C-alpha cells in the first residue's frame, strides 16, 4: 500500500513540476536552513513575518516602559499604582521564564 501511495505522490510532484507549479516560488535558489538547527526554522520564519514576539520579550519591553514612567512620576498615589503595575509585570515575567525553563 505504501508503494502505491509513494508512486502517486511522486507522480503528482513530477506532473506539477512539468506544469511549472514550482517556478518562481519565494525563496527559490536560497539555501535551506540547517536540519540540526535547534529552533524550528519554519516557525521562526512565520513568527518573524508576523512580527510576533515571545511573551518574555513583551514583558521586558513593558517593564522598561513602566520603569521610565515611574522615574517621571511625582504624585505618591500615581507612583504607588505604577509600582503595583511594575511588580505585576515582573511577576508575570518570572512566571513566563519558569514555564519556559520547565517546558521549553
**Percent of the chain whose pLDDT exceeds 90:** 43
- Start-to-end CA distance of the chain, whole Å, equals 38
Rounded CA-CA distance 17/13 in Å is 6
Domain boundaries, the chain: 53-104
59, 88 contact by CB (below 8 A): no
Does the pLDDT of residue 69 top 80, yes or no? yes
Q: Read off the pLDDT of residues 30-49 as tens digits, 9 standing for 90 and up.
A: 887 666 555 566 777 787 88
66 Rama sector, left if φ>0, alpha if ψ -120 to 50, beta otherwise: alpha
Q: Which of 44, 48, 64, 46 is nearest to 56 (CA)?
A: 64
**Mean pLDDT (whole number) for 22-33:** 80
- Which pLDDT value is given to residue 35? 62
Joined together, the cell numbers standing for residue 3 give 508503494
- The structure's pTM equals 0.54
Q: Read off the pLDDT of residues 71-90 as tens digits, 9 standing for 90 and up.
A: 999 999 999 999 999 999 99
57, 65 contact by CB (below 8 A): no
Rounded CA-CA distance 72/74 in Å is 7
73, 79 contact by CB (below 8 A): yes
Amino acid at each position: 500500500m505504501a508503494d502505491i501511495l509513494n508512486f502517486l505522490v511522486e507522480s503528482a510532484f513530477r506532473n506539477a513540476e512539468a506544469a511549472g507549479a514550482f517556478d518562481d516560488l519565494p525563496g527559490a535558489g536560497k539555501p535551506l536552513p540547517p536540519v540540526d538547527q535547534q529552533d524550528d526554522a519554519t516557525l521562526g520564519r512565520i513568527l518573524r513575518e508576523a512580527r510576533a514576539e515571545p511573551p518574555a520579550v513583551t514583558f521586558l519591553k513593558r517593564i522598561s516602559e513602566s520603569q521610565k514612567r515611574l522615574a517621571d512620576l511625582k504624585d505618591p498615589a500615581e507612583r504607588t499604582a505604577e509600582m503595583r503595575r511594575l511588580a505585576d509585570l515582573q511577576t508575570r515575567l518570572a512566571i513566563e521564564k519558569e514555564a519556559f525553563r520547565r517546558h521549553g
